[in-house]
Amino acid sequence: MNINSNTKLIGLLGQPVSQSFSPSIHNYLSQKYKKNNIYMCFEIEKNNLQNVALGIKTFNMKGCNVTIPYKVEIIPYLDKVEKNALLIGAVNTIKNVNDELIGYNTDGIGFIKSLKDEGYSLKDKKVIILGAGGACRSIAVELANHEVSYIEIRNRSEKNAKCICDLINSNFQSKTNYNIKPVEENDLNSFDILINTTPIGMESKDCPIDVNINPPKNLLVCDIVYKPHETTLLSWAKKNNLNVVYGINMLINQGLLAYEIWENIKTSEDDLKEIKNIYFNSLK
């Protein structure tokens, strides 16, 4: 990578970010498309978000990704928020346009593409989502956009889950409800897809559900955690002969969409394949 006086900075804002694969995605894309950018990670504290937003302008950064736990909290410090991201109420991509910070959300679209890439249809499906953070909001909205019939959100606290349910029920035909209880075996019999949007399982062997549960045989299990590649949740699913969708698929797809926003270009399916190869080589 040839860094010079014209190199533009793109960053990842969050906590933690030290194990992120995003620099590999975006530095690969800049190299391939001959864009003079460098992508770096910044671990920041919540009380610094306003200063961070000012810093994006001050240092004339091209933009940023936003990850856990700031996808919602960053919004008040942006100048504009794209319509879909405003509906979702969470931002994972920021573009700096002439000192104006514009927020977007590519999470949900990236997740849906990861399912479609594997040949799954969403229309009329029933989905249970674990967690009620920014990723859940974006995924739930895109699921509703793709006409799933029902979404249930499981979260330990009621406030965020209720807010997402109100959002879906007010804007889409899909029906949504929430429950603050842990998932039990009988709960899963009514669903086609289980999605973990919590960080549980990231860099640990924890699992967001009881691994002694015997799931229905046709349940599709998805985890947005990508490190480790095979989380405890996905190991449980495979042990029970269920189909799974890995978190790295969503990460790469949402990253490709973010890069298209920053550079006004169209990435290719070959990019997805090449970045996956980089990812799997990094696991060796």
Binding-site entries for NADP(+): 131-135, 224, 247
Residues in contact with 279: Cβ distance below 8 Å, sequence separation at least 6, in sequence order: 21, 24, 248, 252
Which of 42, 38, 34 shows the shortest CA–CA distance to 62? 38
Dist. CA 151–CA 176, nearest whole Å: 5
Spatial contact of 213 and 183, defined as CB atoms under 8 Å apart: yes
Catalytic annotation, pick one of 62, 71, 95, 113? 71
| Structure token digits, residue 154 | 């499981």
Q: Is position 80 annotated as part of the catalytic site?
A: no
Spatial contact of 68 and 43, defined as CB atoms under 8 Å apart: no
Report how far apart the first and last C-alpha atoms of the chain are (Å, whole number): 23
Would you list which residues are annotated within the binding site for shikimate?
20-22, 67, 92, 107, 226, 254
Would you list which residues are annotated within the binding site?
20-22, 67, 92, 107, 131-135, 224, 226, 247, 254
Which residues are tagged catalytic? 71
